[in-house]
Amino acid sequence: MGPVLRALIWFLPALVLLVIIALPLFDEDGKLRRNYDDFDSSLWKARGGILILSLVFLALQIENLIQDSYEPGLRMSQQFYSFSGVSHVVWLQENLANGVVIHFFSLFYLVGLPFLLAFIPTFFLLRGENDLFELYAKAVAVNMVCLIVAYLSFHVWIPAFQSESVLPLMHEIPQYEGIIKLVNRQVNSFPSGHTSLTFTLMLIALYKTELKRLAWFGVAFTVLTVFAITFLGSHWFVDVLGGMAVGSFAYWITSTGKIDPFFEPIMERFDRLTLRWSKERTYRKDKT
């Protein structure tokens, strides 16, 4: 059994368990419980947003294949090293690195963002908040488009692979490395996708919901994410700044509706096609 398969055995159940635990925990107004029976209806109405997220996932896999085959982009690792430095990372690793801390932040890095990306849309759909689900889908899509363009344009090794002073703490554990290779490449350093996505989701929780627990959780999660990627040597300081800029831009352009002229025609056309298919399917079933 390879390291990737061994990793998936614990990774997927952990992800599902965390989502199940988080759903009632953040449902502080009880809306999820009241709308649970309408989940099928919410899911059907959200099919346009689900299409957008599926296309984003496909684009990410294509980007990974391109990175594996060609490693495109300007070689900028040395410039990032000169600009950001690694003294703060070295200090953190020298003073904090022990088995428990390394495993905690490695697991947080690996499971945290996938959990957030799975939990937030599920939470909105179960609560019947399709407008927030669509906002989430569009914001994630804008984030990923910006990230993919940057990753293909700039070939930047993470600090743990660029500097001999920084220990590759997480990458020394085969099962953790297996999970990383499923979704990311170590030249995908600038900007930080962990930072940009968590920053966007934090802004949605803060300004588009009235759930205090979710909002404070978003803030704490973002702060902990920045610390984790720094301590593990997974990103340069400028990557974090770039991630915040991308995350803020994604939130602004989606929450103001300025990106809607691009997304809405795609989603509306898909809605019409699936509605026609559903009607034809129902008609054939009635005839039989």
Q: What is the pLDDT of residues 89-114, one digit of tens each?
A: 999 999 998 989 999 999 999 999 99
Extended beta strands in 126-198, E state: 154-155
Whether the predicted pLDDT of 73 surpasses 70: yes
* Higher pLDDT pick, 184 / 56: 56
pLDDT band at 3 (very low <50, low <70, confident <90, very high): low
DSSP 165: T
Torsion from C-alpha of 148, 109, 190, 201, nearest 10 degrees: 60
* Higher pLDDT pick, 64 / 124: 124
Percent of the chain with pLDDT over 90: 56
Nearest Cα to Cα of residue 201 among 129, 276, 138: 138
pLDDT of residue 185: 62
Whether the predicted pLDDT of 288 surpasses 70: no
Contact 144, 180 (CB under 8 A): no
CA distance 131 to 267: 13
Place of tokens 């363009």: 149
pLDDT of residue 4: 62
Tell me the residue type at 59. A
Distances (CA, A) of 213 to 48, 107, 198, 216: 28, 23, 16, 5
Q: Is 157 left (phi over 0), alpha (psi -120 to 50) or beta?
A: beta
The whole-model pTM stands at: 0.90
* Higher pLDDT pick, 9 / 132: 132
CA distance 11 to 173: 14
pLDDT of residue 284: 57
Whether the predicted pLDDT of 138 surpasses 90: yes
Whether the predicted pLDDT of 215 surpasses 90: yes
- What 3-state class would DSSP assign to 133? helix
Question: What average pLDDT does range 186-208 have in this prediction?
Answer: 90
**Of 186-195, 219-228, 236-245, 263-272, which range is least confident?**
186-195
pLDDT of residue 68: 78
- What 3-state class would DSSP assign to 158? coil
pLDDT band at 276 (very low <50, low <70, confident <90, very high): confident
**Of 4-18, 132-146, 238-252, 269-283, which range is least confident?**
269-283
Would you state the structure tokens that stand for residue 261, as one six-digit string?
Answer: 């002229």
Whether the predicted pLDDT of 271 surpasses 90: no
CA distance 152 to 150: 5
Mean pLDDT in the chain?
A: 88
Dihedral sign for Cα 237, 159, 194, 215, please: negative
Nearest Cα to Cα of residue 106 among 223, 12, 227, 188: 227
* Higher pLDDT pick, 206 / 277: 206
Whether the predicted pLDDT of 47 surpasses 60: yes
CA distance 233 to 235: 6
pLDDT band at 34 (very low <50, low <70, confident <90, very high): confident
Contact 147, 189 (CB under 8 A): no
**Of 7-16, 164-173, 182-191, which range is least confident?**
182-191
